[in-house]
Amino acid sequence: MEVLKTIGFVLESLLLLYFGFAALYIFVFAFAGLFPARKRNPKLDKPHRFAVLIPGYKEDNVIVEVAEHALRQNYPRDSFEVVIIADSFQAKTLNALKELPIRLVEVSFEKSTKSKALNKAMETIGDGYDIALVLDADNLMERDFLTKMNRAFNSGFRIVQGHRIAKNQNTPMAILDAISEEINNHIFRKGHRVLGLSSALIGSGMAFDYTFFKEMMANVNAVGGFDKELELKLLRDGNTIEYLNDAYVLDEKVQKSEVFANQRKRWLSAQFVYFRRYVLSGLKELFLRGNVDFADKVYQMVSPPRVLLLGLVMGFTMLYTLVESYLKLEWLQVSPTIWYGIAGITVLAFLFATPTKFYRVATFKAMATLPSAFFTMFLSLFKLKGANKKFIHTQHGTPNS
């Protein structure tokens, strides 16, 4: 019995440490996100020249609309160029794109990745640009997106993340995905900037000093999660990532559970891969150089995704309540009260981070699918092997008939 108590105490302590810290972490940044971040005033009044880089793999359903929409910016027309990076497009799609005043770069790889496409495109278009703006093939920028990005670069930043929001909320899963993105925006972008740390990158709607980005990307070979690898390298080198909460780009949210599962499996796999790769350097940078930004990012690689955190914390809270009330297992030594506290700050963090526009009937109906989303992500934890070594394509738009 003493052995069971000792084992139970160790396991309970590890669970409390992991989930307790994760809950406190998102609570602190969710609360900080309720306040405005400090803004820098522009030092220049220069219209930078943008290369709007839009890589796409078999995105025939959406790419023409995205290219047309990208041209409608309220920004000097001679100061930006839309560059479509076409991988495995149909001939009729390529012909339609060639009719538009854009730059079309056709690419083909034995194993396609976003990083390969971006590197090939920058090699092809040359160096006549000040800023590289990366979009996904389904992204639609608001009309003044480039103007707001330009202002941030005139304020002295050279890495800027825009505010990605949902393009669609047409299914319960799409609503949950939209809320998830906004929670992450609030905690990992706005909340971090309020407290003086860098924003997280998100893979699209992000802009970089062109020459700097081209040099950095030459050393990025990620199959999945290229933005995570890039972000870790940027923060390790002491760069700051700005976040523009009022610069919007619309992104298509997943509509089906199987697409959600594939997407999350890829993200989870990338997180664990980069945590293993950078954990030692993260500790070194923190304790020897005081690089909190980098250490914070390394921790994010091993922190539980928000859906899993909420589901597991609630699960452990109910389990301990059941044990305390009915089973009376002596080898469980932690009071349910502690788990009540962890559950409480987790729920508060979610409430702080969820925009008020989502407090509506459709959201509460969509929450009925939350248990399904939790189990989908939980099961994905056991299917991560090799997920980061192959390209997993997320289909966008409605398939052509």
Residue 60: CATH number of its domain:
3.90.550.10
Pair (217, 237) in one structural domain? yes
Per-residue pLDDT of the chain (401 residues; tens, 9 = 90+): 567 677 777 888 889 999 999 999 999 999 999 999 888 888 888 999 999 999 999 999 999 999 999 999 999 999 999 999 999 999 999 999 999 999 999 999 988 899 999 999 999 999 999 999 999 999 999 999 999 999 999 999 999 999 999 999 888 888 989 999 999 999 999 999 999 999 999 999 999 999 999 999 998 877 667 888 899 999 999 999 999 999 999 999 877 666 666 666 677 777 888 889 999 999 999 999 999 999 999 999 999 988 889 999 999 998 878 877 666 656 566 678 889 999 999 999 999 999 999 999 988 888 888 887 777 777 777 666 655 555 555 666 643 33
Pair (84, 59) in one structural domain? yes
DSSP H helical ranges for 34-134: 63-70, 91-98, 114-125
Pair (295, 152) in one structural domain? no
Query: Which residue(s) pair with 141 in the sheet?
Result: 249
Examine residue 42 and state whether it is found in any structural domain, yes or no. no
Q: Which domain holds residue 137?
A: 50-260
- Tally of domains within the chain: 2
Altogether, the residues listed in the chain come to a count of 401
Verdict on whether the full-model pTM lies above 0.75: yes
Domain termination residue (choose one: 260, 290, 310): 260
Quote the CA–CA distance of 11 and 207 in Å, as a whole number: 44
Domain termination residue (choose one: 230, 260, 290): 260
Query: Which residue(s) pair with 242 in the sheet?
Result: 160
Kind and range of the H or E element at 134? strand 131-134
A 10 A CB-CB count for 212 gives: 15
Return the residue matching tokens 């799409």: 174
Pair (152, 203) in one structural domain? yes
Pair (245, 291) in one structural domain? no
What is the token pair recorded at 152?
């941030």
Q: What is the DSSP letter of 185?
A: I
Quote the CA–CA distance of 100 and 95 in Å, as a whole number: 9
Pair (208, 294) in one structural domain? no
Contact present, 241 and 152 (Cβ < 8 Å): no
Pair (297, 152) in one structural domain? no
What is the token pair recorded at 49?
């020249």
Pair (124, 23) in one structural domain? no
Return the residue matching tokens 């091993």: 302
Pair (276, 379) in one structural domain? yes
Pair (233, 295) in one structural domain? no
Examine residue 152 and state whether it is found in any structural domain, yes or no. yes
Examine residue 44 and state whether it is found in any structural domain, yes or no. no
Examine residue 163 and state whether it is found in any structural domain, yes or no. yes
Give the count of alpha carbons within 13 A of 118, CB side only. 32
Examine residue 392 and state whether it is found in any structural domain, yes or no. no
Rg value, the chain, Cα: 22
Examine residue 194 and state whether it is found in any structural domain, yes or no. yes
Pair (216, 326) in one structural domain? no
Examine residue 314 and state whether it is found in any structural domain, yes or no. yes
Pair (242, 331) in one structural domain? no
Examine residue 396 and state whether it is found in any structural domain, yes or no. no
Contacts of 321 (CB under 8 A, 6+ apart): 336, 339
